[in-house]
Amino acid sequence: MTGADRTVFVNTAAASTGGTGVPSESVDLTAPFGGGTLPNPVTTASGCAGYGRELAKFLPLAELGSITTKTIMPAPRSGRPTPRMAETPSGMLNGIGLQGSGIEHFVANELPWLAERGARVLVSVAGERVEDFAACARALNGQPGVVGLEVNLSCPNADNSGLVFAANPATAHDVVQAVREVAEPTLPVYAKLAPDVTSITDVAKACVRAGADGLSMINTLPGVVIDTDTLRPHLAGVVGGLSGPAIRPVAVGCVYAVHAAMRAGECAAVPILGMGGIRTGRDALEFVLAGASGVAVGTAIFNDPTAPLRVLDELREALAARGFAKLTDAVGLAHHH
């Protein structure tokens, strides 16, 4: 089927006024974020745009709804040995590990630079123990430019044989609660969930009960690529995280399931930040229709550093073409059968 053959369904409000579209420049892209809003729904996915310096050569950071930093831990870390990347069908596998210079360096050197550029910064934090997450959150209180914290639950828990915090509702709950307790009350705390769990909905519910103001989903899926010439795993760390278009249906499915639980009243409603293989505005719209009110662009940035801004423009066009005057009118619409 070609693009021209596809039927584009318009929203009923627009159809009832006889229109099939609205001017794209008039679409209201204001996006729910925690208890507040951001000017638009597009951010960068953690780890795919560093701390923004490289990206700033390609686009004005302040034009994105926010910039999500790569995950920051209390102390500097060197990450995993190379090779750390492998190509996969419709995606990539990375085994970078959580490399970084630590929270103090970030606050002193990276955050002021981001704030000067007017970037709204969603800071991704993690640690090996619950108190590490809290220490990062504390260090960010009162800092310029920070609009929220994203708690990366896909980090090995030193107190539980290295099983990631996201692996079960109880450990996810404890981390989110600890961060929520120390973070400034007005600062939204997002929990970033992993897809390779028995029930992402149960983990989502535990995070919201613990005080999460939003949910980011999904992180990468674990995978292995074997090099058939060397006859060994391609990545030095063997297992890597799969990202890119290959995981998009998994990600949309997770957003759909959690939004459905919110609609059913099984989980308090908080905004969802969707990600996983977004390359175009149409991809982003899929997440919005499934229930996301924000979207993050990750792997696509490695091919096209302008992708986040292009996705924003294309999403605006896609909403306008379908008669949506507001982003929020499209959020979760796929659930209205």
Which residues are marked as active site?
A: 155
CA–CA separation, 153 and 141 (whole Å): 20
Q: Does 96 bind ligand FMN (CB under 6 A)?
A: yes
| Exposure of 236 in the CB half-sphere (CA atoms within 13 A) | 8
- Select the residue interacting with ligand FMN from 40, 43, 243, 293 (CB under 6 A): 243
Nearest to 153 by CA among 105, 110, 206: 206
Please give the residue whose beta carbon sits closest to ligand FMN in the complex. Answer: 47
The distance of closest approach from Cβ of residue 173 to ligand FMN in the complex, given in angstroms and rounded to an integer, is 18
- Contact 308/294 with Cβ under 8 angstroms? no
- Is the preceding peptide bond at 218 cis, omega within 30 degrees of 0? yes
Nearer to ligand FMN, 48 or 255 (CB): 48
Q: What distance separates the 2 farthest-apart alpha carbons in the chain? A: 64
Show the tokens assigned to 120: 């709204």
Sequential DSSP letters for 102-151:
-HHHIIIIIHHHHHHTT--EEEEE--SSHHHHHHHHHHHTT-TTEEEEEE
- Select the residue interacting with ligand FMN from 80, 120, 180, 192 (CB under 6 A): 192
Of residues 305 through 334, those in contact with ligand FMN by CB under 6 A are none
The distance of closest approach from Cβ of residue 217 to ligand FMN in the complex, given in angstroms and rounded to an integer, is 8
Helix spans in 141-233 (H): 169-182, 200-209
C-alpha dist (Å) from residue 305 to 52, 59, 271, 292, 337: 11, 8, 26, 23, 37
Of residues 196 through 225, those in contact with ligand FMN by CB under 6 A are 219-220
Q: Does 275 bind ligand FMN (CB under 6 A)?
A: yes
- Contact 203/168 with Cβ under 8 angstroms? yes
* Contact pattern for ligand FMN over residues 44 through 83, marking x by CB under 6 A: -xxxx---------------------xx------------
Q: Does 168 bind ligand FMN (CB under 6 A)?
A: no
Stretch that binds ligand FMN, among 25-33, 90-98, 101-109, 303-311 (CB under 6 A): 90-98
Stretch that binds ligand FMN, among 11-19, 42-50, 57-65, 327-335 (CB under 6 A): 42-50
* Contact pattern for ligand FMN over residues 109 through 148, marking x by CB under 6 A: ---------------x------------------------
- Select the residue interacting with ligand FMN from 66, 168, 177, 299 (CB under 6 A): 299
Q: Does 43 bind ligand FMN (CB under 6 A)?
A: no
CA–CA separation, 267 and 276 (whole Å): 23
Residues that bind ligand FMN (CB under 6 A): 45-48, 70-71, 94, 96, 98, 124, 152, 192, 219-220, 243-244, 247, 275-278, 297-299
